[in-house]
Amino acid sequence: MKKKVALVTGSAGFIGSNLVDYLLSKNFHVIGVDNFRTGKKRFIKDQINNKNFLFKKLDLTEKKKFMSLSKYNIDIVFHMAANADVSKGHLNPLTDLKFNTIMTSNVLEYIRQKKIKEIVFCSTGSVYGETKTIPTPENDKFPIQTSMYGASKLACEGLIQAYSEAYNIKSYIFRFVSILGQRYTHGHVVDFYNKLLKNKKKLNILGDGRQKKSYLHVDDCIHAILKAIYSNNRKKINIYNLGLDETITVKESAKTICEYLKLNPKFVYSGGKRGWIGDVPLIKLSTKKIRKIGWVPKNSIKKSIIDTLDYLKNNK
């Protein structure tokens, strides 16, 4: 059988590099693209030796260079490249526009010109802003945006849907909660871990520690994406939430990390319901839709935190 050719943007990133591993194990031919803005060379150092993996260092905001990938016959694009840091959007509002919306527009133009038939896009639960509908379903009423990141991702979703309709491209949009697991590089677990290594007696926590969040293991996230693609769904545009039914408060999460490190620091809260401008104090997505097609997550939030800590400990 002919190997499927997948283009993975952001292939040296946390989720992208895990996806590359998975696709290679499933007999895909993978073309990876990254400019190492936040990605790491070490995340793809083993894959580079795989004859089914081709890596191109490219900046996806530079449209002309991107078009140089034209000689490959790509079946599906997994667009993982982004500015994935939700917390700093207000410090430079153009960052999310450039690295999420404009970059996605470039990817879509590439797909249109190359007549590629499928796109997978990583969106975020942040697009629901501070919705009152908990757990939040995919068809929640049109939300008010509270972060540059969420707003830029929602704009990407809009562009993808319009391209799907106009050019008959099948699209899969996944709205994730925060992801944990091997090769994790950004988010509260690594922040708390690093702070505790520096100061064992005190841990500064943003907000009042009562923010409730849901987290998902990167393995469960990737299995969900592949499950959806292979579900024989005939719809042109497919939107799925990805998360767990359970939540954890930031304080509980900090306690889990302290137990793991066998530390008992004083927690010092910066105060307020939100950790930063645009932080959502309660995130819990409804995952009925993805579960209906047979996806079952394997890892609890605690297990995902512990796996992440094991990874951080063993990969200094």
Contact set with ligand NAD (CB under 6 A):
10, 12-16, 33-39, 58-61, 80-82, 84, 99, 103, 122, 124, 176, 178-179, 185, 187
CB–CB of 69/110 below 8 Å?
A: yes
Sort strands 202-205 and 237-242 into parallel, antiparallel or unpaired: unpaired
- For residue 145, which of 280, 307, 10 has the smallest C-alpha distance? 280
| Burial degree of 22 (CB within 10 A; 0-12, 13-18, 19+) | middle
Structure tokens at 281: 């104090």
Q: Considering beta carbons, is residue 39 or 275 the nearer one to ligand NAD? A: 39
Q: How far is the CB of 10 from ligand NAD (least distance, A)?
A: 3
Q: How far is the CB of 16 from ligand NAD (least distance, A)?
A: 5
Q: What is the DSSP letter of 75?
A: S
Q: Considering beta carbons, is residue 41 or 202 the nearer one to ligand NAD? A: 41
- For residue 282, which of 273, 290, 292 has the smallest C-alpha distance? 273
Alpha-carbon distance of 258 to 143, in angstroms, equals 36
CB–CB of 153/99 below 8 Å?
A: no
Q: Considering beta carbons, is residue 161 or 265 the nearer one to ligand NAD? A: 161
Q: How far is the CB of 160 from ligand NAD (least distance, A)?
A: 12
199: which residues sit within 8 A by CB, 6+ positions away?
Answer: 265
Structure tokens at 235: 């719809």
Q: Considering beta carbons, is residue 84 or 116 the nearer one to ligand NAD? A: 84
Q: How far is the CB of 38 from ligand NAD (least distance, A)?
A: 4
The residue to which tokens 């283009």 are assigned? 7
Q: Considering beta carbons, is residue 31 or 268 the nearer one to ligand NAD? A: 31
9: which residues sit within 8 A by CB, 6+ positions away?
Answer: 16, 33, 34, 60, 77, 78, 79, 80, 81, 107
Q: Considering beta carbons, is residue 62 or 168 the nearer one to ligand NAD? A: 62
Q: Considering beta carbons, is residue 86 or 232 the nearer one to ligand NAD? A: 86
Q: Considering beta carbons, is residue 22 or 267 the nearer one to ligand NAD? A: 22
Q: Considering beta carbons, is residue 33 or 244 the nearer one to ligand NAD? A: 33
Q: How far is the CB of 57 from ligand NAD (least distance, A)?
A: 8
Q: How far is the CB of 237 from ligand NAD (least distance, A)?
A: 18
Q: How far is the CB of 280 from ligand NAD (least distance, A)?
A: 12
Partners of 123 in the beta sheet?
175
Alpha-carbon distance of 257 to 304, in angstroms, equals 11
Instruction: Count Cα atoms within 13 angstroms, Cβ side, for 246.
Output: 15
Q: How far is the CB of 266 from ligand NAD (least distance, A)?
A: 28
Q: How far is the CB of 59 from ligand NAD (least distance, A)?
A: 4
Residue 30: CB atoms within 10 Å = 25
Structure tokens at 163: 């391209």
